[in-house]
Structure 1
Amino acid sequence: MLGVLLSLIAGAPAGAFPAGPDGAASTEEITRAVTAEQLESHLRAFQDAADAHGGDRATGTAGYRASVDHVVERLRAAGYDPRVQVFTVPYDEDHEHDHDHGHDDGEGMAAGPRVTYNVLADTATGDPDSTVVVGAHLDSVPESPGLNDNGSGAAGVLAIAEALAGTETRNRVRFAWWGAEEINLNGSGHYVSDLRANDPAAFDDIALYLNLDMIGSPNYGRFLYDGDSSWGGWHDGSPEAPAGSDAIEVAFESYFESVGLAAEEVPIDDGSDHLVFAGAGIPVGGLFTGDSGEKTRQQVDLYGGRAGTDYDPCYHDACDDLGNVDLQVLEEMSDATAAVVLGFASSEIDDAATLRPPDGWPRRSALEELSPVLTGLMVWGAVVAVVAGVAVAVRRRARAHR
């Protein structure tokens, strides 16, 4: 019995990733297929799109359309049949004040509705009843070419799609590039609301959503979204992480541990497209390397860089260009996502049960699973001890006064 208990506490060894079904790439093969050179080529295309069209890739601009064209072209070259979803973005005076710098690149920048696009592509194989969705927003703010925010995430998703092209998957994978994230998450919001209204069965088929937003910050941290509330809860007005989100957190933790890279949790309520899916009850997770927050001394010990300086000093600024992206961390975060996508795409997903970590992957040990309970018991014990100590002191004082 003691041996069983110790084996549970020990958990599975780090790095124990199965190869997957016949015809599937292994974790090592899929991460090797995602290269810094490949990621940089996508970033250069996004930089060229901005340079040729007024310096940005904002929703409703020719710079954004050129970015869409690059994604579609590369997907077709990899053997996918991409779909471009057209929708209209409401653009009022408040948005114009916040996001419009007034240049004209052929479509006009005045307040009013704007036509924009999502890009979607599915793997050729895999059960459509358990669809793994991985996405990133493709648009920038009008003040910036947006190479870290979010050319980095868009490049990561595209490189993963290219790496997975032709491999066999148990479950279908859908790759997504969202428009109008910088305008109230309109692209992913349109996609989810359109599915729920017009194809509820397809909406129910989504097993989980992974989000990549700003994964190449120059003064980076490696952050993964907290799927089990252990970070400290949710901010007011944010949706709670749907059941199963903790399985995604565990998968990312397992991968980073297996390759010896430090990573830490951040609240899942940071403002990006995963909020739309979380609000719809779909398990969510993803990666992030920081925006305008300041890096701590403890994080410098983990990742290097400079304490007291923003993770991305060029956040939403004109200097968010190709030179603002750290290619090493971009490749690390893209590799991690590729491994997790492949893990879930190769696993049996029971629609009637809560999402679990990928089949055969390392999981939290029994001790780690119990840690929130143990922490609560320790806190409760400390409170009881303090109360008991106060009671004893009161009794002693009372006796002394008799």
Structure 2
Amino acid sequence: MPRSFVRPRARIGRSALALAGSLALVASGSFAANAAPTFDNSTNNSSKKLRTAVTVEKVVGHLTALDAIAEANENTRASGTEGFSASVDYIVGKLTAAGYSPTVQSFLFPFFAELSPAVLEQSTPDDVSYGAEDVATMTFSGAGDVSGAIRTVDTTGTASAAGTSGCEATDFAGFTAGSIALVQRGGCTFAIKAANAEAAGATAVIIFNTGVGGNTAAVAGTLGAPDLVGIPVVGASFAAGNDLLGEGVTGRVAVDTISENRETYNVIAETGTGDPDNVVMVGAHLDSVLAGPGINDNGTGSAGILAVAEGMAKVRTANKVRFAWWGAEEEGLLGAEYYVADLVEKDELDRVGLYLNFDMIGSPNFGRFVYDGDNSAFPVGPDAAAGPEGSGQIEQDFHDYFASVGLASGETAFSGRSDYGPFIAEGVPAGGLFTGAEGIKTPEQAALFGGVAGAPYDACYHAACDDTNNLSIEALDQLSDAVAHLTLTYASSTFAVNGAGTPVKGKGKKDRFEGNPLGGGTESGGGLHPEHDHDHEVADR
């Protein structure tokens, strides 16, 4: 089992009142669509049967189990922790009980945890303790608590974006081993600066900002991987860096981290029937962030596709359906990337006909957002990837489903920031659903979906409070039905998406959904937080 780490509990226990109240509403018939018999012993070979089998009670039951796993494991289910391993065991157990033969694909990934905030202090000539606005731990920094002389390396501290402080080993000529190196951002990666400093005998490294173009705050950066640097490395603000320049400056740097490669897992299960050369893949990431239990993000997607897999266990499908629960999504889509790369290496990716992704389908202040696979609402650009051919049809099919049950739907940017990203990078048609993360609901969206305008879709996004109290049962009910409907639809035929198989008889274009009622929906697209691309830069620029 991967080693866990000790950190303060963000929440001591769970209040079951909100969840119990929601389930009472379900039991009393407030969500009548799922109040019928469960059809547990049925083949569930129609949309109506499958949607009846995929009850919201089942989905919430899985979420309750995942929340209990987090509560027993330092309030997290992040990859590389015991909470994630227990989540994998839960998914495997449920799949096995349903009659599947799941496989667990293991892979190594770079694990990093900051156990307490970085400390940066000046001892002489002044006694200064710098706050959180002036110092940040570099991702993959080594751990340690060191004090000593602070030696400036190849910089005068002037505002400049052209400096190369610490980029060459010769910059450290005459550096006194056992000192703390003070270098300025610019010219090369943070890892190169830190490695050169460590080679010169530095006990810690402070990398301060350029002071140019708004780059004055504490540098929030990454060294790129574990084990590249073994000493503490922190980013500092331009002001703090200048404060530490000069002769006779001493101070302290303390960093409390775990930085190492750990094993984590993907869980894969597929139907026993169906064309193996036209596989319908349905996926969701199973891991949370370290900060919380990850029940909406992304217990909801994981629980939703698990309930669909259970409901389809006896369905004879025309196309093979393969369900996937991804590890290390929150670390950069690593599980899906590993899986796709493995299929490419084995020359098996062309057997995947399409991929459906479900990342957050129960946001408390939700919207019903469909991935904009045809790029009509969000044109290709920095925040929207091009949808491979067929992705627009998947988008259309989701909109058509919601329209058929009298529900409005909007669009979300085809950003590639969730586990469909590695698939679309290889040209696989993809689509999915999203109920919103840290973005703000507009008045127009509130009018269509209900909820509170001017508030986040999920105020507990990536936080300790993302537990079973952080859910919309209504959203879970509606979107798990959509997951079931489209999964079974494509299990029968993907002809409209990729031309494989035969068209569905009687499927025409009348009563089709037209346009996007929201005129844009939400840009965030769900999944991987933008911080992985922007706030934590590898290189100095």
Q: TM-score range by the shorter chain?
A: 0.7 to 0.9
C-alpha deviation, 1:326, in angstroms = 1.0
User: Which of 243, 260, 274 lines up with 1:126 in the alignment?
Assistant: 274
In structure 2, what is the equivalent of residue 41 of structure 1? 61
In structure 2, what is the equivalent of residue 307 of structure 1? 453
Give the partner amino acid of 2:490: F
| 1:137-163 deviation per Cα after TM superposition (whole angstroms, max 9, x unaligned) | 000000010000000000001001011
In structure 1, what is the equivalent of residue 335 of structure 2? 187
Q: Distance in 2 between matches of 1:274 and 1:321?
A: 25
Question: Higher mean Cα deviation, 87-96 or 54-63?
Answer: 87-96
Q: 1:99-114 to 2 correspondence within 5 Å? A: 110-114=258-262
Q: Distance in 2 between matches of 1:84 and 1:112?
A: 22
Q: TM-score, normalised by structure 1?
A: 0.79
| 1:259-292 deviation per Cα after TM superposition (whole angstroms, max 9, x unaligned) | 1111111111152111111111000000000000
User: Which of 299, 309, 316 lines up with 1:161 in the alignment?
Assistant: 309
Q: Distance in 2 between matches of 1:354 and 1:50?
A: 42
Q: Distance in 1 between matches of 2:296 and 2:498?
A: 38
C-alpha deviation, 1:229, in angstroms = 1.4
Give the partner amino acid of 1:151: G
C-alpha deviation, 1:331, in angstroms = 1.8
Structure that is richer in strand per residue: 2
Distance 1:367 1:117, change over 3 A: closer
1:147 aligned to 2:295? yes
Gaps of 5+ in 2: 1-42, 113-137, 142-219, 223-255, 517-541
User: Which of 74, 80, 86 lines up with 2:100 in the alignment?
Assistant: 80
The structure whose Rg is larger is 2
Q: Distance in 2 between matches of 1:50 and 1:98?
A: 28
In structure 2, what is the equivalent of residue 243 of structure 1? 389
C-alpha deviation, 1:354, in angstroms = 8.0
| 1:156-180 deviation per Cα after TM superposition (whole angstroms, max 9, x unaligned) | 0100101111111100000000000
In structure 1, what is the equivalent of residue 419 of structure 2? 273
Q: Percent identity?
A: 47
Distance 1:113 1:261, change over 3 A: same
8 Å Cα contact 2:384-2:416 kept in structure 1: no
C-alpha deviation, 1:109, in angstroms = 7.2
8 Å Cα contact 2:493-2:502 kept in structure 1: no
- Give runs of ≥4 in structure 1 deviating > 6 Å: 96-99, 354-357, 364-367
C-alpha deviation, 1:365, in angstroms = 7.1
C-alpha deviation, 1:110, in angstroms = 1.7
Q: Distance in 1 between matches of 2:467 and 2:497?
A: 42
Which protein, 1 or 2, shows the higher relative CO under an 8 Å CA cutoff with sep ≥ 6? 1
Distance 1:210 1:367, change over 3 A: closer
Q: Distance in 1 between matches of 2:488 and 2:103?
A: 22
Distance 1:128 1:111, change over 3 A: same
Secondary structure of the residue aligned to 1:322 is coil
| 1:176-209 deviation per Cα after TM superposition (whole angstroms, max 9, x unaligned) | 0000000010000000001101x21x21100000
C-alpha deviation, 1:232, in angstroms = 3.0
| 1:218-258 deviation per Cα after TM superposition (whole angstroms, max 9, x unaligned) | 00000000111111302327531000001101111111011
Q: Distance in 2 between matches of 1:220 and 1:367?
A: 21
Give the partner amino acid of 2:278: S
| 1:313-370 deviation per Cα after TM superposition (whole angstroms, max 9, x unaligned) | 000010000000112211211110110111111016499748998664454779959x
What count of residue pairs does the alignment treat as equivalent?
339
In structure 2, what is the equivalent of residue 174 of structure 1? 322
Q: 1:294-373 to 2 correspondence within 5 Å? A: 294-347=440-493, 349=495, 353=499, 360-363=506-509
Question: Higher mean Cα deviation, 262-271 or 136-145?
Answer: 262-271
Secondary structure of the residue aligned to 1:332 is helix
